[in-house]
Structure 1
Amino acid sequence: MSTYHQEAYLAIEIQPADAAEKERLMAVRKYVQAHTRQDDLRALAPYIRGLMGEGYQVVCGSSHIWLKREGTPERLAIVANRLNTAYRDWYEPIIPTGPRPSIRTEDSLPIPDQVPLGPSSPSQ
């Protein structure tokens, strides 16, 4: 018996092409939300294939399921493990990247032209 569980979620990465596709994706989202705790996400794939129907590829691994429109290179949506991924819906703002300040200011590197934070060292 496995003790590792995954928290499944669906991220729709590109805008649905039409109302029918949006409805299918919302049905997938509802299904995934009803079955979030999984040992292996592959168990969800057959049901997702059924919900999406023809015209879609549904490919999976143990920790993800991705959906594509047949004949297109970009991924339409992904089912992933919330505990170690952060995929987002197409309409959500992008999280800023780059260096972020440490929450432990005593471990921070000094910023040029600013007074260093933390204990000062004795002058020589």
Structure 2
Amino acid sequence: MNPYPKTTAVADPFPAQQAYVAIEQKPRDAAEKRHLQAVRQHVQAHTHTTDLRGLAGAVKKLLGPGYEVGCGSAHIWVRRDGEQQRLAIVADRLTSAYRDWFEPLPDAGATSRTPRKQLPRLGESPAAGPS
């Protein structure tokens, strides 16, 4: 006997992810740049997928030898053989915000995490800041 008679099974428990590639290091040469562009084009053609790890095989094939490709639960990382720093990452745009190597860092501005630049509290004017 089912103790939860009013429950129904979820058809698709994993929503589609919006895949994108962030290239975190400057390409070494024109050939590496072409390989990374091929990866980016492939991922852009397959942006909506329920499991990003399914793209790992294609990423490995497009890069060719000389790269290590691995994946976590919702991302794919790429490193050059013998290096520890990540070269690129394929991630979900809805849950992450990686940047390409040439993009500027976002302006920290006023955030609630920066004690010197807190957002105004309810009832305070923006110029007043924290007490």
Report the TM-score when normalising by structure 2.
Answer: 0.77
Q: 1:56 corresponds to which residue?
A: 67
Q: CA deviation at 1:109?
A: 5.2
Q: Where do residues 73-112 of structure 1 align in structure 2 (5 Å cutoff)? A: 73-97=84-108, 99-100=110-111, 102=119, 107=122
Q: CA deviation at 1:61?
A: 1.9
Amino acid at match of 2:41: K
Check whether the contact 1:57–1:68 (CA below 8 A) recurs between aligned residues.
yes
Q: Deviations over 1:65-100 (max 9, x none)?
A: 000000011000000000010000000000123643
Unaligned runs of 5+ in 1: 117-124
Distance 1:108 1:45 in 2: 50
Q: Which runs of 4+ in 1 moved over 6 A?
A: none
Distance 2:76 2:56 in 1: 7
Which secondary structure state, in structure 2, belongs to the residue aligned with residue 107 of structure 1? coil
The verdict on how the C-alpha distance between 1:110 and 1:91 changes in structure 2, with shifts beyond 3 A counting, is: same
Using the aligned pairs only, state the percent identity: 49
Q: 1:45 corresponds to which residue?
A: 56
Q: State the number of aligned residues.
A: 112
